């Protein structure tokens, strides 16, 4: 089974795909239709579509996003180059990210000459994909999402076609997305808290431009002719539709804006109709799970997300964790006592120190060692009795 948090997962991904029954290469339109259904376009990825179905039950959101980004890049590579050779794809993808290196987003520190191409791409994707699931390393009030992750796919296709990826293209694409979102929000009849959160979402996601510098008055001032690729046009329309979504209803002025935008980019009305329907269906179904629709209480959101992350990590490593804990008799006794009474200050210090020492030996649990990570130890302590054998509580009888 693939584990996007462990080294070697990309090689396993391609082993599985190679073993799968060959399928016809998608058209650009079909590719976009499928990737929109996964939530990739909306920055909340729930799945990804491959010819060999991958079981991602129990995966964290960032793990699904990593695999989805790899798959999207590979699919657009096959469509654009009519090739499905994994080695060629890996070389082109790493070369692309080496060139796509904006200030403050340094991939070079991750690309090591002595590492394999697949491992280099793993490290790059690990840096690129950020979600609220790993927000423990971020500021509580800062929304970190994958809202513009599809820009990587568009830029990769541009790189494959042109042989280079000029910063002008990336800056122009981001500025146009931000401008369209700003215009769409200005067009909305009914304002909501979601509008402010969406602005924060894009402010946190742009890398080549600043949301605050946007000063576009209307569609006529946008240089939309710059974007000739159908995928670029589809994405711009979907971003406008995402900005306008509020209660599932599209007012007349909002619909006019979307159809006018589509007309300027020579996109048929049928696509706009489908975009409105798909956006409404996806957000209505997953609204409670999408971070930028549920950020009214940042601290609660942070706690809920990190609690789930810690529980997942504990379950994945429960055998090793139980073994390490059971080798410390003093820790076993203190943990057993903690289930029946409050530990005193000195006992709590001993538990904390010994648990942190154990976490150093389990790579996945180093989350507790980063600044602020020790605040999550109570979650670990709460679940320890469920991980240890029945003899755990017998420690009390020996005292």
Domain boundaries, the chain: 9-293, 317-397
Distances (CA, A) of 134 to 61, 296, 299, 317: 9, 19, 14, 18
Q: Mention every residue, 6+ apart, whose C-beta is less than 8 A from residue 130.
A: 62, 144, 145, 146
126: tokens are 């690990």
Contact 209, 175 (CB under 8 A): yes
pLDDT tens column, 91-113: 999 999 988 765 444 444 445 55
pLDDT tens column, 188-236: 766 666 666 566 666 656 666 655 555 667 788 888 888 989 999 999 9
Which among 333, 322, 329 has a CA at the least distance from the CA of 389?
Answer: 322
Residue 23's CB: how many other CB atoms inside 10 A? 10
- Distance between CA 75 and CA 34 in Å, rounded? 11
Can you give the pLDDT of all 399 residues of the chain as single tens digits? Answer: 788 888 899 998 888 877 656 566 688 999 999 999 999 998 888 888 876 677 777 787 788 889 999 999 999 999 998 788 899 999 999 999 988 765 444 444 445 555 789 999 998 888 888 644 443 333 333 333 466 889 899 999 999 999 888 778 888 888 888 888 878 877 776 666 666 656 666 665 666 665 555 566 778 888 888 898 999 999 999 988 888 876 556 677 788 889 999 999 999 999 999 999 998 899 889 887 776 666 544 444 445 555 666 777 777 777 888 788 878 878 888 877 776 777 788 888 888 888 888 887 776 676 666 655 666 677 677 767 666 655 544 544 444
């Amino acid at each position: 089974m693939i584990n996007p948090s462990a080294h070697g997962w990309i090689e396993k991904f391609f082993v599985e795909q190679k073993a799968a029954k060959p399928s016809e290469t998608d058209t650009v339109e079909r590719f976009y239709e499928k990737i929109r259904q996964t939530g990739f376009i909306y920055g909340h990825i729930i799945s990804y579509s491959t010819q060999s179905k991958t079981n991602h039950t129990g995966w964290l959101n960032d793990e699904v996003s990593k695999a989805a980004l790899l798959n999207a890049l590979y699919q657009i590579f096959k469509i654009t180059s009519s090739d499905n050779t994994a080695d060629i794809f890996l070389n082109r993808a790493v070369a692309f990210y080496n060139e796509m290196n904006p200030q403050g987003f340094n991939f070079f520190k991750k690309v090591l000459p002595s590492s394999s191409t697949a491992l280099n791409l793993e490290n790059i994707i690990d840096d690129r994909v950020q979600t609220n699931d790993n927000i423990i390393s971020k500021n509580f009030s800062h929304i970190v999402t994958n809202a513009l992750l599809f820009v990587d796919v568009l830029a990769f296709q541009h790189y494959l076609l042109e042989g280079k990826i000029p910063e002008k293209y990336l800056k122009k694409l981001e500025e146009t997305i931000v401008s369209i979102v700003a215009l769409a929000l200005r067009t909305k009849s009914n304002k909501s808290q979601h509008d402010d959160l969406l602005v924060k979402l894009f402010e946190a996601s742009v890398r080549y431009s600043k949301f605050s510098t946007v000063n576009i008055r209307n569609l006529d001032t946008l240089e939309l002719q710059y974007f000739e690729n159908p995928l670029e046009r589809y994405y711009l329309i979907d971003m406008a539709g995402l900005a306008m979504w509020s209660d599932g209803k599209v007012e007349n002025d909002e619909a006019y804006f979307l159809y006018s935008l589509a007309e300027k980019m020579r996109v048929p009305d049928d696509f706009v109709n489908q975009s409105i329907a798909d956006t409404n269906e996806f957000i209505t179904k997953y609204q409670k799970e999408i971070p930028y629709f549920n950020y009214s209480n940042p601290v609660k959101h942070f706690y809920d997300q990190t609690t789930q992350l810690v529980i997942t990590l504990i379950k994945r490593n429960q055998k090793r964790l139980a073994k390490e804990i059971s080798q410390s008799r003093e820790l076993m006794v203190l943990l057993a006592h903690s289930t029946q009474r409050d530990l005193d200050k000195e006992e709590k210090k001993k538990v904390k120190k010994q648990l942190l020492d154990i976490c150093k030996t389990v790579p996945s649990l180093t989350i507790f060692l980063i600044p602020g990570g020790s605040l999550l130890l109570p979650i670990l302590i709460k679940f320890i009795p469920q991980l240890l054998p029945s003899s755990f509580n017998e420690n009390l009888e020996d005292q």
